[in-house]
Amino acid sequence: MTNPPTIVDSHCHLDFPDFNGELPDIIARAHAAGVARMVTICTKLKNEPLVRAIAEANPSVYYAAGTHPMSVATEPMASVDQLVQLAQHPKFVGIGESGLDYHYTAESGAMQRDSLRIHITAARETGLPLIIHARDADDDIAAILTDEYRKGAYTCVMHCFSSSAELGQAALDLGFYLSMSGIAAFPKSGDLRAIFAAAPLDRILLETDSPYLAPPPHRGRRNEPAYTAHTAKVGAEVFGLTLADFAAATTANFDRLFWKAK
């Protein structure tokens, strides 16, 4: 039996209740599917100790932390110093997820924009990649990312990218990365696959955003890191590559961006 190619799930949420009591099996299935490393994301800083403990207990798991844009109105505003201090942990590899979500929480837009700039500053100061959530806020996201980049360079991934071609190009123009989730594998996501196909291969990452957005054949059910393999197969088709070559390319991209997890 041939071993699957090595890939990385660059964004999952292993602390969510969906995985309670199952983490050893979840991680074992990921390894069996070729997912050698995972980055689990803390979306509320009060949960950082739990997320950190998951990373500390599992050699193949790393973590990032920030305040999700949908939570900024109900959680204490993160500070640059707080994020920089968290980043001292050896398994802390990214800042966020931060960003803007005007679909569900447009009323907190001003607070979201302030929070985003705080996370960008922390990414710039630590040299760790910023992890961006963008929903129905393309123009403001592009404007803030560009404005802040002029103040000083930083690195960034557009997590679970499913926005417009214009936002994708704006991110690529800044040297940022686009992350391919299960959405890219949905049958009706042809336009999104075209955006990825037009992007440089050396700017593409893979993720699940599990427990959400399971790719076919698991769509509609709980997602988990092992299912990164299904999205990788679609990504290889998008770029006209063998699965092994696409896996190698996206893993190299991950190592370049998430350098602490290399």
Q: What angle do CA 10, 11, 14 make, to 5 degrees?
A: 120
Q: Does residue 12 form part of some domain?
A: yes
Would the pLDDT of 205 be above 70? yes
Is the CB of residue 98 less than 8 Å from the CB of residue 116? yes
pLDDT tens digits for range 158-193? 999 999 999 999 999 999 999 999 999 999 999 999
Q: Does residue 2 form part of some domain?
A: no
pLDDT the model gives residue 93: 98
Q: Does residue 192 form part of some domain?
A: yes
pLDDT the model gives residue 23: 97
Q: Does residue 249 form part of some domain?
A: yes
Q: Does residue 152 form part of some domain?
A: yes
CA–CA distance, 219 with 230 (Å, rounded to integer): 11
pLDDT tens digits for range 106-161? 999 999 999 999 999 999 999 999 999 999 999 999 999 999 999 999 999 999 99
pLDDT tens digits for range 232-255? 999 999 999 999 999 999 999 999
pLDDT-derived band at 257, boundaries 50, 70, 90: very high
Would the pLDDT of 212 be above 70? yes
Please enumerate, as own/partner, the contacts of 234-239 that have beta carbons within 8 Å and a separation of 24 or more: 234/180, 234/184, 234/185, 234/193, 235/180, 235/184, 235/196, 235/204, 235/206, 238/184, 238/193, 238/196, 238/197, 239/196, 239/197, 239/201, 239/204
Say whether 186 sits in a helix, a strand or coil. Answer: coil
pLDDT the model gives residue 2: 79
pLDDT-derived band at 18, boundaries 50, 70, 90: very high
Would the pLDDT of 262 be above 70? yes
pLDDT the model gives residue 1: 60
CA–CA distance, 145 with 185 (Å, rounded to integer): 27
CA–CA distance, 246 with 239 (Å, rounded to integer): 8
Residue 205: how many other CB atoms lie within 10 Å: 27
Domain count, the chain: 1
Q: Does residue 111 form part of some domain?
A: yes
Closest CA to 99 of 46, 41, 126, 138: 138
Half-sphere exposure of 84 (CA within 13 A, CB side): 11
Please report where in the chains the tokens 């960003």 appear, as a residue: 99
Q: Does residue 118 form part of some domain?
A: yes
Range of the domain at 147: 7-261
CATH value at residue 155 = 3.20.20.140
For residue 39, give the H/E element and its range: strand 35-42
Half-sphere exposure of 21 (CA within 13 A, CB side): 0
Q: Does residue 1 form part of some domain?
A: no
pTM: 0.97
